Amino acid sequence: MVVSSSVPSLWEAHGSQIYYIPYQFGSLIGPEKLWNDIVAHRFFTDYWSHSIWVAIFYSLGVHIVQRAMVNRKAWDLKQPLILWNAALAIFSLAGTIRMGEEFFHVIRTRPLLDSISYSVDPHQPAAFWAFCFAASKIFELGDTVFVLLRKKPLIFLHWYHHAVVLVYVWHSASELVAGGRWFIFMNYGVHSIMYAYYAITAAGIRLPRVLSMVITTLQTTQMLIGVAISFIVLYYKLQGKLMQQSFENLSICFSIYASFAVLFMNFFNKSYLSKKEEKTKTQ
């Protein structure tokens, strides 16, 4: 592997200037060999706004299907659900490993601030997995399909999270936001655990309740880190430092991470703490 230079490199395409930290992976695996940074960047630059329409139709579709299922029998989707969650768990694990290589290299060899100032190398597998991450937000909408067709409780946090993350991630992909290095790595990591948990429980295997608490805690922590990074980036941008993230993207980032942090903490409180208190009172 090539050690990154002391000065960030500049990548230009379609009128965009992206400052990144060079890092060459030791080898390319499978589809990584097909990666084309120019095509991918043009796609998100030209079409990121389409994610807004997808999110709108998704949100409307959620309520339409929910009403349509009121007088219908729940579908038995045990096997498809196991396969779905297992596939997403494997995909997320692969993303965690590949993004992790670049992430930890930057953390070890560069000032910590650089990790949220300059993007991943657009020519390398980290960018490929960032692209896959953005694309996966479309596929993850399928989670909601399983919830609706199986007539399981659908909370606001679930569909709101899917809708707004899709828009934010696609907007970030058009800029190759530097903080995405953190967001993507954390999300891949949490999802690799979360979907593995879902796959196992979908198979009818009961796991300790503490595991679901750990997953929710990890999700909440991820959101709080996102809020913290937003504040740090804003501070340095106002100081005039080059930060590979626009004010527009930063405002979206802060808004959704702050809302997620509140919603996840509320979910944790209602799901675990409140129930524990009620159980104690009844004893």
Query: Which is catalytic among the residues 41, 123, 161, 191?
Result: 161
Domain presence at residue 2 = no
Rounded-to-integer distance, Cα 171 and Cα 180, Å: 11
Picking from 178, 198, 144, the residue whose alpha carbon sits closest to that of residue 246 is 178
Q: Is the pTM of this model over 0.95?
A: no
In a domain, 4, yes or no: no
Report yes or no on 271 lying in a domain. Answer: yes
SS (H, E, C) the chain: CECCCCCCEEEEECCEEEEECCCECCCCCHHHHHCCHHHHHHHHHHHCCHHHHHHHHHHHHHHHHHHHCCCCCCCCCHHHHHHHHHHHHHHHHHHHHHHHHHHHHHHHHCCHHHHHCCECCCCCHHHHHHHHHHHHHHHCCHHHHHHHHCCCCCCHHHHHHHHHHHHHHHHHHHHCCCCHHHHHHHHHHHHHHHHHHHHHHHCCCCCCHHHHHHHHHHHHHHHHHHHHHHHHHHHHHHCCCCCCCCHHHHHHHHHHHHHHHHHHHHHHHHHHHHHHHHHHHHC
Q: State residue 281's pLDDT score.
A: 46
Task: Decide if 1 is inside a domain.
Answer: no
Residue at 26 is within a domain: no
Report pLDDT for 276. 55
Q: Which parts of the chain register pLDDT below 50?
A: 1-4, 279-283
Asked if residue 248 belongs to a domain, the reply is yes
Tokens of 36: 């084309």
Dihedral sign from CA coordinates of 271, 272, 274, 276 = positive
Instruction: Determine, yes or no, domain membership for 93.
Output: yes
CB-CB contact of 36 with 13 (8 Å): no
Is 56 domain-assigned?
yes
What is the Cα–Cα distance from 278 to 55, expressed in whole angstroms? 37
pLDDT at 268: 84
Residue 161 falls in the annotated catalytic set: yes
Domain ranges, residue 169: 9-21+32-278
Q: How many domains does the chain have?
A: 1
Are 282 and 231 spatial neighbours (Cβ–Cβ below 8 Å)?
A: no
